[in-house]
Amino acid sequence: MQKYKEILLHKQATIKKALEVIDKGAMRIAIVLDDNERVVGTLTDGDIRRGLLHGLTLDSSIEDLYFKEPTLATINDSKELIVQKAIRKQIYQIPIIDNDGKLVKIEDLANLLKTNAKKNHVILMAGGLGTRLRPLTHDVPKPLLKVGNKPILETIIENFAKYGFVNITISVNYKADMIKEHFGDGSALGVNIDYIQETQRLGTAGALSLIKDRPQEPFFVMNADLLTNVNFEHLLDFHSFEHSVATMCVREYDYQVPYGVIQTDGSRITAIEEKPVHKFFVNAGIYVLSPQVFEYIPKEEFYDMPTLFEDIIKDDLKTISFPIHEYWLDIGRMSDFEQAQTEYGEIF
């Protein structure tokens, strides 16, 4: 983030200041912010030159110069969508903003078109019994059930690899040998896979205690029965930008009360709301954790991820949520499995 701070510019800055910022940043662009640090525009060297040709001076404000309808992407946009925007608009850099309109990073088209391997590890939880999907899981562990002619877990691994996250650890238990035999060391998928073996139920966080070589950088933890096209790179950037200890992906869930809800004051009815809809954020089963979380995880005891977050919050350390607006499906029931089969081709 530090190098992006070098190209930030207030909307009332002078042309002289803008030239200094653009020259120092070496990215051929400045990002213009308002009083609340929201991105409101972009400014290039060409914009400034045109202003000077029309009689402005170095002490003039950039207010009438900067482009007020910039091409932006959000932390929820996929890599493919960002590339499409850049090519369509014929631009080399796209500011990435969070849900409040604040700058998180700047994507460079050249970097988007190549994938560099990253150190950050990915821990995939694949040890569940899949009881709600029986009889499908009698002979096959749920992560190996095929959706779109390939196992669910294979789609997950390919999606991480697409963003350069190639160091994969799979936590296994139920029918572990089948998973190990299918994926091996990961070389067939262009990734590096190792395994941790659960001999008892340890929960989504407790299994992390089995890791021998603990990650030194922020790392992902994800359930191995999810299908999503979330931008994992932006998720990691958001975690780091916010200096978070633990980040949880959340999904909006709507629940409609099937009855008219009555509000009362004593015995007096004050209002009637017919079948109201309540909105909640629910845990999406995808996390980014900083290495210090290992201080909280007990050795080989059941310990789930919500408890980890609760303990971190008790110590007044920073935990944040990352709302998922992209495709996301938890394949926990037979109806979810059937839905995935229908949607897979369109989404992936």
Local confidence pLDDT in tens for the 348 residues of the chain: 446 677 888 888 998 888 888 777 666 778 898 888 889 888 887 788 778 767 888 888 888 888 888 888 888 887 778 887 877 777 777 888 888 888 888 877 766 666 677 889 999 998 776 677 777 777 788 888 888 888 999 999 999 998 889 999 999 887 888 999 989 999 888 889 999 988 878 888 988 989 988 899 999 999 998 999 888 988 998 898 888 999 999 887 888 888 888 888 888 888 888 888 887 788 899 999 999 999 999 987 899 999 999 999 999 999 998 888 788 888 877 888 888 888 888 877
Sorted by where each begins, the domain ranges of the chain are: 2-112, 118-347
Indicate the pTM of the whole model.
Answer: 0.68
CATH code: domain 118-347 is: 3.90.550.10
Query: Nearest to residue 86, comparing CAs of 74, 99, 72, 98?
Result: 72
Give yes or no on whether 2-112 and 118-347 have one common fold: no
Token pair for 48: 């400034």
Structure tokens at 316: 């007044």
Give burial (CB, 10 Å; 0-12/13-18/19+) of 111: exposed
Residue 83 — φ and ψ, nearest 5°? -60, -45
Q: Report the alpha-carbon distance of residue 237 to residue 241 in Å, rounded.
A: 6
CA 266/CA 299 separation, integer angstroms: 52
Angstrom CA distances, 28 to 4, 18, 78, stand at 12, 11, 24
Query: Could you tell me the sign of the dihedral formed by the alpha carbons of 239, 243, 245, 249, in that order?
Result: negative
Burial zone of 258 (CB within 10 Å; 0-12 exposed, 13-18 middle, 19+ buried): exposed
CA dihedral 243, 248, 251, 256 (to 10 degrees): -110
| Dihedral sign from CA coordinates of 49, 54, 59, 64 | negative
Pairing mode, if any, of strands 328-330 and 260-265?
unpaired
Which class in CATH covers the domain with range 2-112?
A: alpha beta
